[in-house]
Chains A and B, each alone.
Chain A
Amino acid sequence: MTKLDAKIPGGNLADKWTTFKSSVSLVNPSNKRSLEIIVVGSGLAGASAAASLAELGYKVKVFCFQDSPRRAHSIAAQGGINAAKNYQNDGDSVYRLFYDTIKGGDYRAREANVHRLAEVSGNIIDQCVAQGVPFAREYGGLLSNRSFGGTQVQRTFYAAGQTGQQLLLGAYSALQRQVGMGNVKMYTRHEMLDVVTIDGKARGIIARDSVTGALERHFGHAVLLCTGGYGNVFYLSTNAMGSNVTAAWKAHKKGAFFANPCYTQIHPTCIPVSGDHQSKLTLMSESLRNDGRIWVPKKENDTRKANEIPEDERDYYLERRYPAFGNLVPRDIASRAAKERCDAGFGVGTSKMAVYLDYAAAIIRYGQGEANKHNMHNPSDEEIQAMGKAVVKEKYGNLFDMYKQITGEDPYEVPMRIYPAVHYTMGGLWVDYNLMTTVPGLYALGEANFSDHGANRLGASALMQGLADGYFVIPYTIGAYLAAEIRTPAMSTDTPDFEAAEKAVRDRLETLMNIKGNKPVDYFHKRLGKIMWDECGMARSAEGLKASIKEIQALQKEFWSDVKIPGEIDNLNPELEKAGRVADFLELGELMCIDALDRDESCGGHFRTEFQTEDGEALRDDEKYAYVAAWEYEKQSKFKLHKEELKYENIKIAQRSYK
């Protein structure tokens, strides 16, 4: 186990981060000017890291595949960001946020990292407000909060249903400020296609300019991968079309261990699939579960319209099964409960693979509240409806509009139809306390790493983690490595290592172009997605996983002999970009199944049908599986398991209950 040293500082949990910050090596300002850092990805983690490191004086290069850093998929996060501010006086604290996150993650996250995350959560809100992020406010001018799943306090800060957008634009502004000052060099429409290692250390990357097709070599004293999650391995997910695992996977093949790949989050409230043409799925924010009630008909195969089903013939199954948390149970639990009802024949809509998310009661409740506020003693039903809808519109208007655009139905009048969809990946590159992977000098931040969410992430915690890693963690922890690099001058990229890395990238691209098969990339991606969704999605079994591994291996072979990529290698070629990403997804999918098969327990988002309690809840095996599974790449289809034991010294492990 010598290879997996998490480098967790000693001392009491609550003092570790403070002690670390006071004792970590520093790099003096003049040395910072000669140290170069490469940041790949410009979402919350990448933009905040790049801006903060440039402010400190490091020379930073940022790469993103989109046409602007502002497009990164963090922009689409809707509901909010958690912080232990206790502005609501409802008993929140750093410890409670820490506790909720560990419990929400089904006791599979690392204590020290999570506590640090909770500690810096408040600083994030301060920083964002100072940048001009327009969070929602109360009439007194102070910040507003709402609730998210898996908590009993209101600690979520938000900007309507566009919180990710506002936070990302804040980080993007900070980044562009540094670009304008010449401290950051920005490379848009550039995709990282390999990490370059020299003498075991990460020393740069090979990137492809998507417009010209030219391969470029870039040197860095350190390389930060802030490249997001790999949910698109399922083809259909709430991720953006371009979201991919390629950067992380290349790093994995260069020696970075991949941790807990099977931990994926299936989000309970998404707009259901409408047909084979579907290219992606759209999330309806978890914040909607603050006010919306989820139900299915009590009668099997009920074909009546939602509004025709009387109150006493509706089954509010989350409120029934989990009275303590009701509609705000964590995502993994809400998703499985929806699947259970639909599989049992109670689903709604034409596909019968959907449940209702209903705002009728909330509209009346808010309407009555408004009537009281305005001293209206006998308001008519119409007035109550109108006022209630106005309140709902202010809180969730953009989400309701989006639903209507996609489905053609008006959610102010009829309940929304929702179903679970792939949304987030808790697994990712293994990192130590400093966010460094098993390759020295190579870091992973945000969703790209595995560290904070265990087997299930709580809502509004992804934004928190991405910004914590970028603004407040990496600026300190990178010093531990770079302080020893001050004698390393910037290297020429005209060396055999860079040359060999570039050649390998070029060979692979040429191989892809030369297959000249019969099927477009999407054909393979869809087939992979179906295997993953059916066998490595919301429910997994040893039998299904074993069969899937074989199927995926066969699909890999088919892809490499029959994919058809049009266009040219030295021109803008989206199909070539997609092909490279799908080739990596095909390998990752296999590893996910291997990991899911290895973990003979259920925990969080990983639900093995063989391991469940009598009432269908996830059954953990803490004796055997309280570890992080970190996989080392050996060769094609061969991965070696390393274990990082998880020690809980501050929390008593218990069967997770939200009843």
Chain B
Amino acid sequence: MEGNLNLTLKIWRQKNASVAGKFETYQVSGISTDMSFLEMIDVLNNRLIEEGDDPVAFDHDCREGICGMCSMYINGRPHGPNRGVTTCQLHMRSFKDGETITVEPWRASAFPVIKDLVVNRSSFDRIIAAGGFISVNTGNAKDANNIPINKDDADEAFAAAACIGCGACVAACKNASAMLFTSAKVSQLALLPQGQIEAATRAQAMVAQMDEEGFGACSNTGACEAECPKGISIENIARMNREYFSATFTSK
């Protein structure tokens, strides 16, 4: 409840995938520090509509940091300046009066721009479809407590499963690698006894799909972990590499 901000916004505008985009500059004033970043964009958009301009297209849905849909690259960082926060949970109290804020879409050839700040992340869905599951049909399951699972393993699997699939890891990576995303799913399932049966084929299939989508290689810089809004650990990449190499060496 600090008071109001006047800001300069430099926002990437691009009509569709086949035309070039460019930055446009907008001034916004009277922005409450209690607003979320997306609410600030709402204010701008309603003004643009009233003035007869096309509002800025951006992806968003739950606005509580869990659906993974929002995806703005703010001042050179995915989801903006704060650690462990998605764009929708970023609040304007993190900015200063008079600041210039630059907003871009995720930049990666595997995430082509659809319009303005909206990109196509269906490559992530295809990576999961390649192997990010346990092959158990509905009705196959035995009693849930039949297989006790070490609490530490269950907690670690949960930590990996907390990935929201937003793509910040790809946007942060200089190689646009999807290793953190892919490894989080590989790790979650490899850590659980139910997932171990398919661990080898899973790692191989998901890595192959990741490569096919055009994501880059991992060079262990760690930007993905630093920018991940859900704190997904880079140790998952090491675990995926182990799974992948052991699968490659022992493959039939």
Contacts and interface: CB of A to CB of B under 8 A. Distances in A.
A456 interface: no
B228 to A, nearest CB: 14
B247 interface: no
B98 to A, nearest CB: 20
B214 interface: no
Contacts of B250: none
A70 B129 CA distance: 12
B9 to A, nearest CB: 16
A140 interface: yes
A73 B141 contact: no
Interface centre among A132, A162, A241 (most CB of B within 10 A): A132
Interface in A251-266: none
Interface residues of B, number: 81
B26 to A, nearest CB: 15
A279 B90 CA distance: 14
Nearest to B85: A405
B161 to A, nearest CB: 5
- B36, B61, B132, B142 — which one has the most chain A CB atoms within 10 A of its CB? B61
Contacts of B66: 75-76, 162, 165
A132 B32 contact: no
Interface residues of A, number: 84
Contact of A76 (B49, B67, B93): B67
B128 A172 contact: yes
Contacts of B136: 127, 130-131, 174
A162 B89 contact: no
Given A277-B42, A406-B91, A123 B129 contact: no
Interface string B34-45: 111011001100
Nearest to B90: A405
Given A138-B151, A176-B132, A277 B62 contact: no
Interface of B is mostly: loop
A66 B69 contact: yes
Interface of A: 48, 51-52, 55, 66-73, 75-76, 85, 87, 122-123, 125-143, 159-160, 162, 165-166, 169, 172-174, 176-177, 179-180, 186, 188, 211, 238, 240-242, 274-275, 277-280, 282-283, 350, 401-402, 405-406, 408, 471-472, 475, 518, 520, 522, 564, 566-567, 571-572, 574-575
Given A564-B49, A566-B52, A571-B16, 16 more contacts: A68-B165, A73-B62, A126-B142, A130-B142, A137-B148, A137-B154, A159-B161, A162-B66, A173-B128, A211-B114, A240-B61, A241-B60, A275-B32, A408-B91, A572-B57, A572-B114
27 contacts: A55-B138, A67-B121, A73-B61, A75-B62, A85-B145, A126-B142, A126-B143, A130-B141, A131-B136, A159-B158, A166-B161, A172-B128, A176-B125, A180-B129, A180-B131, A275-B34, A277-B39, A279-B36, A408-B93, A472-B139, A520-B50, A522-B42, A522-B46, A564-B50, A566-B54, A567-B55, A575-B49
